Amino acid sequence: MAELKIGVSGCGGRMGRMVALELLETKGTRLAGGIDAADSPYLGRDLGEMAGVGALGLKAGSDALALFRVADAVIDFSWPAASVGHAKIAAATGKALVIGTTGLDAAQESALKQAARKAPILWAPNMSVGVNLLLELVREAAAQLGPEYDIEILEMHHRYKVDAPSGTALALGRAAAAGRDVDLGKKRAGVRDGATGPRKAGDIGFAVLRGGDEVGLHKVLFAGAGETIELSHRATSRRVFARGAVRAAQWLARKKPGLYAMADVLAKR
Same domain flag for 222 and 140: yes
Same domain flag for 134 and 190: yes
Residue 126: predicted pLDDT: 87
pLDDT in tens, 104-121: 899 999 999 999 999 999
Give SS3 for 189: strand
- Residues facing 152 on adjacent strands: 205, 221
Q: Which residues contact 198 (CB under 8 A, 6 or more apart)?
A: none
What are the angstrom distances between the C-alpha of 236 and each of 41, 157, 215, 255, 256? 27, 11, 6, 31, 34
Same domain flag for 79 and 142: no
Q: What is the CATH number of the domain that holds 28?
A: 3.40.50.720
Furthest-apart CA atoms within the chain: distance in Å: 64
Q: Which residue has the higher pLDDT, 62 or 266?
A: 62
Same domain flag for 133 and 217: yes
Residue 268: predicted pLDDT: 55
Q: How far apart are CA 71 and CA 178, in angstroms?
A: 37
Q: Count up the domains in the chain and report the number.
A: 2
Residue 238: predicted pLDDT: 86
- Closest by CA to 165, choosing from 102, 72, 86, is 102
Most confident of 53-57, 140-144, 159-163, 189-193: 140-144
Same domain flag for 31 and 104: yes
Same domain flag for 184 and 58: no
Q: How far apart are CA 28 and CA 208, in angstroms?
A: 39
pLDDT level of residue 138 (50, 70, 90 thresholds): very high
Catalytic residue (choose from 59, 118, 161, 255): 161
**Above 60 in pLDDT, residue 13?**
yes
Same domain flag for 226 and 96: no
Same domain flag for 12 and 98: yes
Same domain flag for 15 and 102: yes
Mean pLDDT confidence for 189-215: 93
Same domain flag for 147 and 110: no
Q: What is the CATH number of the domain that holds 137?
A: 3.30.360.10
Q: Quick one: what percent of the chain has pLDDT higher than 70?
A: 99
Same domain flag for 143 and 91: no
Same domain flag for 18 and 111: yes
pLDDT in tens, 210-251: 999 999 999 999 999 999 999 999 999 889 999 999 999 999
pLDDT level of residue 198 (50, 70, 90 thresholds): very high
Mean pLDDT across the chain, nearest whole number? 94
Q: How far apart are CA 112 and CA 240, in angstroms?
A: 24
What are the angstrom distances between the C-alpha of 118 and each of 66, 70, 255? 19, 18, 11
**Above 70 in pLDDT, residue 140?**
yes
What are the angstrom distances between the C-alpha of 58 and each of 23, 34, 39, 46, 167? 14, 8, 19, 5, 31
* 233 flagged as catalytic: no
**Above 90 in pLDDT, residue 1?**
no
- Parallel, antiparallel, or unpaired for β 120-123 and 73-76? unpaired
- Domain range spanning residue 205? 129-235
Do the beta carbons of residue 269 and residue 158 sit within 8 Å?
Answer: no
Query: What is the number of other CB atoms lying within 10 angstroms of the CB of residue 28?
Result: 10
Listed in order, strand segments (DSSP E) in the chain are: 4-9, 29-35, 73-76, 96-99, 120-123, 150-157, 188-189, 204-210, 216-224, 227-235, 258-260
The pTM for the full model equals 0.82
Residue 103: predicted pLDDT: 84
* 118 flagged as catalytic: no
Catalytic residue (choose from 157, 218, 219, 233): 157
What are the angstrom distances between the C-alpha of 235 and each of 15, 60, 127, 231, 238? 13, 28, 11, 14, 7
